[in-house]
Chains A and B, each alone.
Chain A
């Protein structure tokens, strides 16, 4: 079967660093994607890890360990606009499985 675990809520202050963890169990794994969704909006792509290690894109970084079926999204220099839901999505062949997501609240 397939399963995904990520925290339901995370709260952090502006300017801080936050890490959102994701553990997964899925068949036909190719890589792990991360998406951001603001309330009422469409999910938008943040990053994709096909190989083990860290991928950095500006203030956001994503990490994957295939052997541990584990990944995380690291957000640095948090801004109020980062308040949103974040989804990890393991997938194969671009068919992604989304979990229930992590709601990030950034406070002053």
Chain B
């Protein structure tokens, strides 16, 4: 049972470089999320996709774009990385949106932007 799979696990970028974080879930979940976690800040929502074909901004969307490629996959793109985007990124999914469903998290991506 893979659950939620994120790649890569670690990444170092230079300022201005671009990259895409990949996320896939095999639980047939409808809703997917991208969070970032910074020391002392807790988990903050970047973007989410309540269902296939829809995406919405979360609390901290600036500097990011997302694509819900299909029901399984939800990618996060940094077009021009900045040091402020150094963080741990988590992808998560729920069976349906907004119905007291627990989140299933991926193992995270540690991103450093120099």
Do A and B pair up? The answer is no
CB within 8 Å of B: which residues of A? none
CB within 8 Å of A: which residues of B? none
